[in-house]
Amino acid sequence: MIFPKKSSVNNTEFNQITKTQSKSEKVVYLVWQKLKNILILTRISHWVKNLFIFLPAFFAGEFFELKVLQNSFLAFLTFSLVASGVYVFNDIFDKHSDRLHPTKKHRPLASGQISITFALFLGVGLILTGLFASLSALGLGVFALLLFYLINNIFYNFFFRKIAIVDICSIALGFVIRVFVGSWATGILLSSWIIIMTFLLALFLGLSKRRNDLLVSQHTGQKIRKSIDDYSLHFVDTAMNMMSGVILVSYLMYTISPDVEHRIGNEYFYLTTFWVILGILRYLNLTLVLQKAPSPTDVLLKDGFMQIILLGWVLTFWIILYTGV
């Protein structure tokens, strides 16, 4: 059986529904619960990470060209399908360790609300759909990059995740692949700056996740990740501080680069650095002081301050690059 019956839903909640709603309303409620579990399992909210695919078009000043936007969106959609399939398999591999985690234990597979059999079929279906759609709509280059992303995640699940530093480098590589997917889909050449800054930013975010893993491990007394023994709070905090400085310097050098100024035709591009500094400081504040940054996705979707910073960066970038001010 793919989904459990009544036992998969909170008993008190189910009994309340049974008493107050009609049979058809109960069916709708249970179907919605099942659909919600599928959405959680496939990490639809994590599709925001795949917005990196739009960066080549955005930085090149071609974001609003119809063909470029269309191909970027197709790349985003096909990559998101493959990524969702990968998340399903990640949860299959992590099922036992997730049960030891204070929040991850509520995930559909860890809590037993979705069966392994259904998850396997779902994961394979999503990956194959994404791969073949990319091949037919965007060509062999994007298809090969998606395969590379898939292979990287296979190696991550079996090998890389057990080795400190290598694990976060593998995660960072996934973000770099996203940028290359956007480049291949649109035919826009990538600058070395974008590749470097994407990798550095992804490393920074990966370190923040390992810091959260350390805190959870210390709080619960459970080793929730095999590589966690080779990390320490001192090391992670030092590495995050180092990476934040490197990111800021790299971005500033990018904005004042003569090649960039010549291509953009505007010498005020450096003004966008203001928002990058604020963003880094806010993330450090959330991670090191408030300890409210369990994942970059949660920060982006739930932290209003960070959303304002991101919106400010996008608007400033758009005004400078697209209006010629």
Phi, psi of 165 (to 5 degrees): 75, -45
pLDDT at 27 (0 to 100): 77
Whether 3 maps to a domain, the answer reads no
Q: Are residues 248 and 316 in the same domain?
A: yes
Question: CB-based contacts of 128: which residues, under 8 Å, 6+ apart?
Answer: none
pLDDT at 222 (0 to 100): 74
pLDDT at 3 (0 to 100): 39
Q: Are residues 93 and 210 in the same domain?
A: no
Q: Are residues 171 and 236 in the same domain?
A: no
Whether 196 maps to a domain, the answer reads yes
pLDDT at 113 (0 to 100): 87
pLDDT at 29 (0 to 100): 74
Name the domain count of the chain: 2
Whether 68 maps to a domain, the answer reads yes
* CATH assignment of the domain containing 117: 1.10.357.140
Whether 20 maps to a domain, the answer reads no
Give a three-class secondary structure readout of the chain. Answer: CCCCCHHHCCHHHHHHHHHHCCHHHHHHHHHHHHHHHHHHHCCHHHHHHHHHHHHHHHHCCCCCCHHHHHHHHHHHHHHHHHHHHHHHHHHHHCHHHHCCCCCHHHCCCCCCCCCHHHHHHHHHHHHHHHHHHHHHHHCHHHHHHHHHHHHHHHHHHHCHHHCCCHHHHHHHHHHHHHHHHHHHHHCCCCCHHHHHHHHHHHHHHHHHHHHHHHHHHHHHCCCCCHHHHHCCHHHHHHHHHHHHHHHHHHHHHHHCCHHHHHHHCCCCHHHHHHHHHHHHHHHHHHHHHCCCCCCHHHHHHHCHHHHHHHHHHHHHHHHHHHCCC
Q: Are residues 238 and 299 in the same domain?
A: yes
Whether 125 maps to a domain, the answer reads yes
Q: Are residues 213 and 93 in the same domain?
A: no
Tokens of residue 111, six digits: 């809590």
pLDDT at 151 (0 to 100): 96
pLDDT at 1 (0 to 100): 37
Q: Are residues 235 and 282 in the same domain?
A: yes
Q: Are residues 257 and 159 in the same domain?
A: no
Q: Are residues 100 and 165 in the same domain?
A: yes
Its domain, for residue 87, covers 64-175
Question: CB-based contacts of 7: which residues, under 8 Å, 6+ apart?
Answer: none
Give the residue among 87, 84, 317 at the shortest CA–CA distance from 194.
317
Whether 323 maps to a domain, the answer reads yes
Tokens of residue 203, six digits: 């490393």
Tokens of residue 41, six digits: 């399992």
Q: Are residues 156 and 218 in the same domain?
A: no
- Give pLDDT tens digits along the chain (325 positions): 333 444 444 555 545 555 556 677 777 777 788 888 889 899 998 999 999 999 999 988 888 899 999 999 999 999 999 999 999 998 888 787 777 777 778 788 888 888 899 999 999 999 999 999 999 999 999 999 999 999 999 999 889 989 999 999 999 999 999 999 999 999 999 988 899 999 999 999 999 999 988 988 888 777 777 788 889 999 999 999 999 999 999 999 988 888 777 777 778 888 999 999 999 999 999 999 988 766 888 898 899 999 999 999 999 988 888 776 6
